[in-house]
A and B are shown apart, each in its own frame.
Chain A
Amino acid sequence: MADTLQVSLWRGGSDGRYVDYAVPARESQTVLDVVTYVQRHLDATLSYRFACRVGMCGSCAMQVNGRARWTCRTHVSKVAEGGKLTVAPLENMPVIKDLAADMREFFGKWQRAKGRFAPSKTRNDPVEPIDPATPQRRAADAAIECINCGVCYASCDTVKWDKDYLGPAQLNRAWTLVNDVRDAGNRERLVAVSEGSGCHSCHSHQSCQEFCPVGLNPTRSIAGLKRKSLAAYLKGELKP
């Protein structure tokens, strides 16, 4: 292990540049710790975002040596190439400053994909009994633990080419709702994810499932949506 890491951090807005720093290497050190060291000891004006420190909030994702990752859960030894680290804000999102990206469009698309539960019951009704072994519940469960960190979105080629594309995390959420028997909004949701730059724009490059830190598979969820969408079209429930 080298004594010092050579770290290049993105500084400024979209017209910014990389600035180099030398950071002492430690045995126990994540990429977030490296960034924190720079702010605490080398340049007090460095901006970045983090919250939970343990991979639950999805606030601290950044591009690390070209790949989107949670910085809080990425040990330096697993990513530093020859003691070098390059850290930049998440791709496919506007830069606010330095390493902090603007996630508003990401969440706006979440809503465009109708990524929210549409209730069919109220708080005055009992909780609906749902057999955990049904295929629908299992499909929903397999995709539900997304923490909306934006790693898949930053890694997606389709998002890069088509700024209107809804995005893997957003479509993955829509898929969990399509499989939620309690939801009353699926007709509308299927229209939302089928039109324009929706699920049919996905080219199945699989970056989302390769890079998802939770191990989810949005590509599979999107394939499920494509099948549902096509079936609805054939039944005349969707307009071409």
Chain B
Amino acid sequence: MPIERVRTDILILGSGGAGLFAALHAHAADPKLDITVATKGLLGKCGCTRMVQGGYNVSLHKGDSIERHFMDTIEGGKWLPHQELAWTLVTRAVERVRELENEIGCFFDRNADGSLHGKAFAGQTFDRTVHKGDLTGIEIISRLMEQVWARPGIRQLEEHRAVAMIPSKDGASLSGLLMIDVRTGALKFIEAQAVLLATGGGPTMYRYHTPSGDKSMDGLAMALRFGLPLRDMEMVQFHPTGLYGGAETRMTGTVLEEGLRGAGGYLLNGEMRRFMGDYDPKLERATRDVVSRSMYAEMRAGRTTKNGGLYIAMSHLGPDKVRKMFKGMVERCDDCGFDLAGGLVEVVPTAHYFMGGVVCGVDTATERPGLFVAGEDASGMHGANRLGGNGVANSTVFGGIAGDTMPRWIAANRGHRPPDEGVLDAEVARALVPFAAKPGDVNALREKLMDTMWNDVGVLRDRAGLDRGLAALDTIEAELLATGVADGNRAFNLTWHDWLNLRSLIETSRVITLAAIQRENSRGAHFREDFPEPGDLDSSTYTVARQRGGKIEMTNEPVEFTIVRPGQSLLADAAE
């Protein structure tokens, strides 16, 4: 089938912090380059950078240091992070925040003396999180969007989804991306000298999840099919307090902020009992992973509300005070029909962030020439757990680095590389598969997937559950392939995209499950009830998944302690 073909020099997939920074840096490095940003929704509006509530970790404040930020990141990641990537993250964050303020125009909150305000965030030994109220992501992405819109040299393809990476004719490198123009439904091949994968992760295969609704792990599903190694795929971060609005509502799973527990909020079970004391002496103020696991255990034991959730209670702090302290959260709950200030709001733990992703170097290069990766699609910076405030630092730091790297790479490797036409034809056919089968209920299969991942590959895991999950994924995939979408009007056909989303989610879910089977210990976000101990830190390994000939191979690779070893610290005072 003949499809439209377009050429660009740099193709950027995604318009979050990583994608937009890459576009700006690449454009600044060489304004003559033809740069295209393709994004699944509207530029800067889809994706998750915009949803950042907390802020941006950076060691810019008096008394803090790069070394301290680094140690917090390594210890938070339970000694699994790739240390050079983590070091790059914390060092380059300093320049990136100054760039955000001085060049992009972000207007972060100030102390009374005019300096940047740093707020406290869980798991950190210094109050280093720079923010704009509790809507930091909106400030960052709105300002970035304006700068990109201001540069007509950066072409925009809004509502374009990527469906497959197409290798060059010789198979050695990447040629370009097969895409769907969502608005027209037409397929399009975009050939590029360099491509940045920055679609964002987003574990939306879980019953309860926080990321925006357009997220479906397309980037990692494509990378897997392209044969790239993926690391830390078992590491799914859960946030303890997702809003629970019942079935068939989009609001379910969205985050109620961390600060509610910090300020003294209670978690209650269906019997109206404050249960956290059964699990941890720090009660509701225990870390995200501990609270999530406790809530999950409580729910599994059946001590839930009649709808199947738990409660958060704030009213004992005084409804007026709660209204004032958490204005945004109170209004959000109120709009959706819940009284956070004076009543009880149902909550559930919710899948929040994906630490796993494509293996990459500090310059964002992957093992396939021409392909670069940044943001939540990349991996290694966070290890077994991400600190709150390191997510947006990660996407903007490495997005900018990708934008610096790609023009240099193009200068040294000039020219487009024609695609393998056979693979392109096969991928076109693959994207159209749902139109060949009899139309069915795609959403029912999505519900099945979310239950499977929640019950068997979720907050608490064991071998029997993981094996059950793996088998269920095969069944769901087979059912999806037999379930079609009516082929009438392909323009803005969300049901077709729901189908494609689901396929990406099933494929990445399988890797999560296999990686969770592979890791026979409990670190950070990954908890095995049959292997509850963290294991020896000195011989820590990370998992790598790679698809070869339709089969996924799992290996353990040793963590290289290139900067600091377990038991050591870069901080003078900590070494005493």
A interface list, Cβ under 8 A from B: 26-30, 32-33, 36-37, 39-41, 44-59, 72-75, 77, 96-98, 100, 103, 107, 110-111, 115-117, 119-133, 137, 140-141, 144-148, 173, 176-177, 180, 182-183
Q: Assess whether B486 is in contact with A121, with CB atoms less than 8 Å apart.
A: no
Q: Assess whether A58 is in contact with B45, with CB atoms less than 8 Å apart.
A: yes
Task: Say whether B1 faces chain A, with CB atoms less than 8 Å apart.
Answer: no
Q: What range describes how many residues of B lie at the interface?
A: 35 or more
Q: Assess whether A59 is in contact with B246, with CB atoms less than 8 Å apart.
A: no
> Known pairs A26-B248, A40-B443, A55-B332. 12 more at Cβ < 8 A?
A44-B493, A56-B50, A57-B46, A59-B46, A73-B335, A73-B336, A115-B146, A116-B150, A117-B147, A123-B103, A129-B110, A137-B110
Task: Say whether B567 faces chain A, with CB atoms less than 8 Å apart.
Answer: no
Residue of B nearest to A78 (CB): B335
Task: Say whether B319 faces chain A, with CB atoms less than 8 Å apart.
Answer: no
Residue of B nearest to A39 (CB): B494
Provide the bound-state CA to CA distance between A30 and B243, in Å: 14
Q: Assess whether B105 is in contact with A119, with CB atoms less than 8 Å apart.
A: yes
Provide the bound-state CA to CA distance between A129 and B98, in Å: 12
Q: Assess whether A54 is in contact with B51, with CB atoms less than 8 Å apart.
A: yes
Q: How far is the CB of A125 from chain B (nearest CB, A)?
A: 6
Q: Assess whether B102 is in contact with A182, with CB atoms less than 8 Å apart.
A: yes
Q: A30-B249, A132-B112 are in contact. Are A44 and B486 (CB under 8 A)?
A: yes
Can you pick out 11 interface pairs between chain A and chain B where the beta carbons lie within 8 Å of each other? A26-B249, A44-B485, A44-B493, A47-B494, A54-B254, A75-B335, A97-B491, A110-B146, A122-B99, A133-B112, A148-B45
Provide the bound-state CA to CA distance between A49 and B337, in Å: 23
Provide the bound-state CA to CA distance between A144 and B488, in Å: 44
Task: Say whether B135 faces chain A, with CB atoms less than 8 Å apart.
Answer: yes
Q: Assess whether A126 is in contact with B42, with CB atoms less than 8 Å apart.
A: no
Q: Assess whether A53 is in contact with B250, with CB atoms less than 8 Å apart.
A: yes
Q: Which of B43, B114, B485 has the most CB of A within 10 A?
A: B114
Interface mask (B314-351 → A, CB under 8 Å = 1, otherwise 0)? 00000000000000000010011100000000000000
Provide the bound-state CA to CA distance between A194 and B483, in Å: 57
Interface mask (B358-379 → A, CB under 8 Å = 1, otherwise 0)? 0000000000000000000000
Q: Residues of B contacting A47 with CB < 8 Å?
A: 491-494
Q: Assess whether A57 is in contact with B45, with CB atoms less than 8 Å apart.
A: yes
Q: Assess whether A123 is in contact with B95, with CB atoms less than 8 Å apart.
A: yes
State the majority secondary structure of interface residues on B. Answer: loop
Interface mask (B81-125 → A, CB under 8 Å = 1, otherwise 0)? 000000000000001111101111101111111111000000000
Q: Residues of B contacting A58 with CB < 8 Å?
A: 45
Q: A107-B149, A111-B150, A119-B102 are in contact. Are A77 and B337 (CB under 8 A)?
A: yes
Q: Assess whether B51 is in contact with A121, with CB atoms less than 8 Å apart.
A: no
Q: How far is the CB of A116 from chain B (nearest CB, A)?
A: 4
Q: Assess whether A26 is in contact with B246, with CB atoms less than 8 Å apart.
A: yes
Q: Residues of A contacting B137 with CB < 8 Å?
A: 56
Q: Assess whether A51 is in contact with B335, with CB atoms less than 8 Å apart.
A: no
Q: How far is the CB of A183 from chain B (nearest CB, A)?
A: 7
Q: Assess whether A147 is in contact with B337, with CB atoms less than 8 Å apart.
A: no
Q: Residues of B contacting A122 with CB < 8 Å?
A: 99, 102-103
Provide the bound-state CA to CA distance between A148 and B45, in Å: 9
Q: Residues of A contacting B246 with CB < 8 Å?
A: 26-28
Q: Assess whether B99 is in contact with A73, with CB atoms less than 8 Å apart.
A: no
Q: Residues of A contacting B51 with CB < 8 Å?
A: 52, 54, 56-57
Q: How far is the CB of B103 from chain A (nearest CB, A)?
A: 5
Q: Residues of B contacting A127 with CB < 8 Å?
A: 60, 97-98, 101-102, 108, 115-116
